[in-house]
Structure 1
Amino acid sequence: MPKSPLPTTLTRPLDLLRDLVPEPGAARPMAALTFAQSLGTGLFLTSSVIFFTRTAGFSADQLAIAMSIAGVCGFLCSMPAGRIADRFGARVPLAISYALLGPLFFVYPFVDNLAEFVVVAALIGICETGAGGPLRGALIHALFGKAKASGVRAQMRSLFNLGFTGGAALAGLALADGSRSAFIAITTANAVLQLSCAVIAFRLRPPADVEPVPAAPAKRSWVAIKDRRFLLATGLSGVLEFYLPVLTVGMPLWIVHRTGAPGALTAVLIALNTIMVVLFQRVASRGSETVHGSGRLLVRAGVLLAVACVLFALSGGRGAVWATVFLVPSLIALTLGELAQASGSWGLAFALPPPDRMGEYQGVFALARGFQQFLGPALVTVLTMSLGATGWLILAALFLVTGLAAGRAFTRQTPSDPAASIDAAAPKELTP
């Protein structure tokens, strides 16, 4: 496994900040789009649950039903959205998705019954799935090509975290006010930001040096769901993405109920996670330009996530000081595993598909996130809260085995790989 470039980069903080600045050309409007969308998302997600339950009067069960239906609708639309991107291009459908999100968020605070709430939530789930998944991935590929797509997406992820954090901070002001007017101001601001994303997306054009992506045939294709190697990449990436419920569900519950550390430590650790992702995601994406390199990144992710789980297990039952001694390095290992997982997954998602089926493949790859969203929170909660340290060790074994399986499947050069360097590779049709 190659030595991580992270320690060397830590000695050059200016290089980390430069990594956040996009190169001239299409990357800059894409960065503006990403930042605007993440700012609105941070504003809305941070405050919506509290306002809907305390101000709008919906119960927690009603909110859970609406959000579950929205998630299912988005999940079911990921593959059709990818197919649309292949057939008609991703730019205009993506712009339409953002344009529809504008009025949907604007009317959100004015729904006054569960049926209306479910309909609006479901429509938002559908549009956000297209905007945040296959359409966005296909557009990045069309704008930058396979050689640069993974690195650009890593940079966009850093900017997304930066924007989301800013939106969450602004939402704190609205939460302090707690009024209906404050929530209307939040949804209106989010609606305006989504409409600005629509304008930016509509105006994006591929640079002259990027080869145009051929349009997919009109005939319906099932190539992506028959491509066993790509399905393996999707499944392994989905399992490794269980780091997210570990971070957002398992860690907070564990800190509060199974350690003597103060609950406020959760906020500190999540803030540390966000800072690390903002600064290091671009650095961590090095090597994701090839299938081989992406496979090595997933091995690294599996090992690091396993180490994090072992450290979480060791923090159980300890007092505040010793629990913190184990929890801080566990969060660092978890975040480094997250960075490697994101980069390796994007690398495979861009390197394995044939160029004229990129949207279709991105739609299938989005199923990995749906798998994690459906199963992850419940699985992590049951393992950690019911089995304690043993549950953490089971998670560690799951991450380690998955990472090693990814290494076995993707670190060996095969005839279907796009050569050692994607820059020099000619597009190849994959055999199922």
Structure 2
Amino acid sequence: MPKSLLSKNPLPKTSVTPLGMLRDLVPGPGAARRVAFLMFAQSLGTGLFLTSSAVFFTRTEGFSTGQLAFAMSVAGLCGFLCSMPVGRIADRLGPRTPLAAGYALLGPLFLIYPFVDDVAEFAVVAALIGICETGAGPLRGALIHALFGADASRVRAQMRSVFNLGFTGGAAMAGLALASGSRSAFVVVTSANAAIQLGCAVIAVRLRPPAGTEPAPAASAKRSWAAVKDRRFLLATGLSGVLEFYLPVLTVGMPLWIVHRTDAPGTLTAALTALNTVLVVFLQVAGSNGSDTVRGSGRLLVRAGVLLSAACALFALSGSGDALWSVLFLVPALVVLTLGELAQAAGSWGLAFALPPPGRMGEYQGVFALARGFQQFLGPALVTVLTMRLGAIGWLTLAALFLVAGLAAGRAFTRDTPTPPAPAASADAATPKE
């Protein structure tokens, strides 16, 4: 493990008091705060854009929902396919320069976005944006690891809280553009986002790891597929992807269930989504305790599987009574789901940081990004079919899926005996350990 930027000034242990938890949300001075500003700016632009783009292209440009879905699927597929090559680029050039280049490219792409007038042009621009945005994930992960070393998991927990704050703020600002519904309003949105992305590029350029702490670039092209040959790491990726199905449960399954299969008011969806955001912002840092080791991350994934399973059972029960009965089960279901989300996020990035051997962090982060692609590709359709067609039985099926994935993660990773990581030169010959 390279020396951490914070190794001379270790971060304090996570507090369990309300005031201490608030203090834990504030990153330390220096690189941590610059990364936090980067994440806040990027999430502000993401929330601003994503909340308004679909409405603009369907209402103002006249695209059908099918055309929009096709173009966005193409964009998602392109991003998915590019995550591994981007990770290998990070190992050869370092993550900072490619990350800054991606943000710099997003600037002009967002500027031209509102002026595309057919589906083919839209798909091309959306695909380029998808490549840049999806590729930014493993690049940010590799950069955070290079900057903070052993403290990377805790810093990433802070960044997740910051991301939720920025995304919520961007979504609220997008409401003004949605109220107008005009092309000029969307041009303002995309221009603001373009400026934000260019600002992110400047910040990324300045996030230079201290001399001597950045891992040496991978030298051998023969080892460029080490991550996809690492069965243990692929198991971590797959189980993390399954447990990340909490996201379509939150964004697709829960709203549809509330509106179509319970007597609860539809406005409860917005209230529960807001509650989820608040809980993630304030509890993610505390919920990441233990994610700095393989064993601790495995325990977090077990906890995630159990909690997510319990949440699905509560959702199933919410559809069998009147409005009050539904609310009495939906609120605790959301809280338990969020606690499972916190554990899943921390356990997943803990394994993503702890398992890769030295010099291969970018490549491994690129492979780990496949878990998010898997969830994005299959999750919404699976959750919709199970919950809307099978009702309570579908929820219990999801509960079983989460529980099995969590227990499998426990069996695979909580019995780990800490050993030094395999040297970079033998990354293909040995399974990396904690």
| Number of the residue aligned with 1:30 | 35
Distance in 1 of aligned mates of 2:280 and 2:425 = 33
Indicate whether 1:206 and 2:212 are aligned.
Answer: no
Q: Residues 358 and 423 of structure 2 are in contact (CA less than 8 Å); yes or no, is this contact kept in structure 1?
A: no
CA drift of 1:136 comes to 1.0
Indicate whether 1:269 and 2:281 are aligned.
Answer: no
**Stretches of 4+ aligned residues off by more than 4 angstroms:** 415-418, 425-430
Q: How does 1:9-408 map to 2 (within 5 A)?
A: 9=16, 12-131=17-136, 133-145=137-149, 147-207=150-210, 211-220=213-222, 221-408=224-411
CA drift of 1:414 comes to 3.3
Distance in 2 of aligned mates of 1:227 and 1:415 = 18
After superposition, what is the alpha-carbon deviation per residue over 1:11-38, rounded to whole angstroms, capped at 9, x for unaligned? x322222122110121111111000000
CA drift of 1:114 comes to 1.2
Change (3 A) 1:108 1:236: same
Distance in 2 of aligned mates of 1:70 and 1:76 = 10
CA drift of 1:381 comes to 0.8
Distance in 2 of aligned mates of 1:90 and 1:313 = 44
Indicate whether 1:411 and 2:402 are aligned.
Answer: no
Greater shift in the superposed pair: 173-182 or 78-87: 173-182
Aligned partner of residue 287 in structure 1, secondary structure:
coil
Aligned partner of residue 355 in structure 1, secondary structure:
coil
* TM-score, normalising length: structure 2: 0.93
Distance in 2 of aligned mates of 1:328 and 1:66 = 35
Change (3 A) 1:428 1:144: farther
CA drift of 1:403 comes to 0.4
Q: Residues 273 and 335 of structure 1 are in contact (CA less than 8 Å); yes or no, is this contact kept in structure 2?
A: yes
Change (3 A) 1:298 1:417: farther
Distance in 2 of aligned mates of 1:381 and 1:123 = 28
Change (3 A) 1:35 1:415: closer
CA drift of 1:417 comes to 6.5
| Number of the residue aligned with 1:421 | none
Distance in 2 of aligned mates of 1:109 and 1:19 = 40
CA drift of 1:348 comes to 0.1
| Unaligned residue ranges in structure 1 (runs of 5+) | 419-424
Q: Give the number of aligned pairs.
A: 416
Distance in 1 of aligned mates of 2:406 and 2:61 = 44
Distance in 2 of aligned mates of 1:413 and 1:307 = 27
After superposition, what is the alpha-carbon deviation per residue over 1:105-140, rounded to whole angstroms, capped at 9, x for unaligned? 011001111111111001000111111x21111111
| Number of the residue aligned with 1:422 | none
Distance in 2 of aligned mates of 1:31 and 1:49 = 28
Amino acid at match of 1:139: L
Distance in 1 of aligned mates of 2:128 and 2:170 = 22
CA drift of 1:212 comes to 2.4
Amino acid at match of 2:44: L
Distance in 1 of aligned mates of 2:413 and 2:419 = 11
Distance in 2 of aligned mates of 1:295 and 1:227 = 17
* TM-score, normalising length: structure 1: 0.93
Distance in 2 of aligned mates of 1:224 and 1:302 = 25
Amino acid at match of 1:328: V
